[in-house]
Amino acid sequence: MEKLKYAVHAYAWTGSWSNKTLNLIDRAKKLGFDYIEIPLMEIDLVDAVKIKRHAEDAGIALLTSTACSMEDDITGESATARKKGVIYLKKCVKATAEMGATVFTGVVYSAIGRKIGSMPDEKYWERSAAGLKEAAKYARDLGVTIGLEPINRYESFLVNTCDQALKLRKMIDEPNIAIHLDAYHMNIEETDFYNPTKKAAPCLCHYHLSESHRGIPGTGTVDWKGIYKALGEANYTGVVGMESFAEVSKAMQSATCIWRQLAPSSNELLTEGLRFLKTLEKKYYKKRQ
C-alpha cells in the first residue's frame, strides 16, 4: 500500500498556465498522479475557481508553487519593492486557498536569478524572514502551508541548502512554514542526499524528485536510495513530485537551460519515472507498512 502522494508539475507540458491548459489536470490523473502542481508565476492568468472545479471532476488534488521575480522580491533594496513582494505572496496564497489546496511552495524567499556583489549579509535574511512572516500569518488564516525550496547557487544567492532553509524557517518562526526539497538542486549543493532529507523530514511539505539532468529518474547521478531510505525511516507520508522536462516550450528554454532531448516525450518520462519511484517506495517503506 503506497504511503506517498505523487505529484507532477504542470511545467512538464507547458511553460505558461492559463485556462487553455486545464486539460493537463486530466492528463496528470490519467498518468497515475495523485496531485498536479499549478505554477503561479503568472498569477493573473490563474483562474482558481475553474482549476478547483476541473480538479474535483478529475479526482485529483492540487498544490501550487512559484518563483518570485525581481519585481516581487521581498529581499529587494527598497521598502516599496519588498512590500510588492509580500502582496504577490499573499495573492498566491489566496489563489491556493481558493483552489482548495493547502500547500504553496517554491522560491518564495527572494527573486530567482538575482545575483548580488558579495556574500549575503544578515539584512537579506532579515528582509526575507520579515516578508515571509507576514505572508505566513495571512496563509495560516486560510489554512495554507508555505514551503521554502532551496535551489542552486546559479539561481539563488540566499537559500541553496537544506540547512539554510531550516535557518530561515527558524527566523520566520511561524507554524505553517515548511521545507520543500528538490533533488536536482541538492545534487549541486548538498554533500549527500540522505542526511538533508532526514533532517528536513519532520517539517517537509513537498519534495521534487528530479534527476540530476532533469530527465527520467534513475538515469542520472541522484542517490535515490539515500532519499527513499531517509523518507522511509522518517515515515514521511506527504507529497513528493516530479519536476522533469522533455517537451520544453520556447518560454521555458532559457529558464530550464535544457538544450537536448531528455526523453522521447513528457508522458514517457513521467510514466517511466513514476514507475521507478514507486518501486523504491515499496522497497524502503516495506517494513513500515
Residues with Cβ within 8 Å of residue 141, at least 6 apart in sequence: none
With a CB cutoff of 8 Å and minimum separation 6, the contacts of 191 are none
Q: Which of 189, 211, 243, 281 is catalytic?
A: 243
Would you call 126 a catalytic residue per the annotation?
no
Q: How far apart are CA 205 and CA 149, in angstroms?
A: 10
Give yes or no for a contact between 38 and 51, defined as CB atoms under 8 angstroms apart. Answer: yes
Cα–Cα dist 258/210, whole Å: 14
Going by C-alpha positions, the residue among 163, 93, 96, 85 that lies closest to residue 128 is 85
Q: Are 174 and 133 in contact (CB under 8 A)?
A: yes
Q: Which residues fall within 8 angstroms of residue 233, CB to CB, at 6 or more apart? A: 198
User: H/E element holding 277?
Assistant: helix 266-284
Rounded to the nearest 10°, the torsion over CA 243, 110, 96, 235 is 60
Distance separating alpha carbons of residues 238 and 242, to the nearest angstrom: 14
φ, ψ at 59 (rounded to 5°): 80, 40
Choose, from 37, 134, 149, 155, the residue flagged as catalytic. 149
243 is a catalytic site residue:
yes
Phi-psi region of 113 (alpha: psi -120 to 50; beta: other; left: phi over 0): left
Distance CA(8)–CA(166), nearest Å, equals: 25
Residues taking part in catalysis:
149, 243
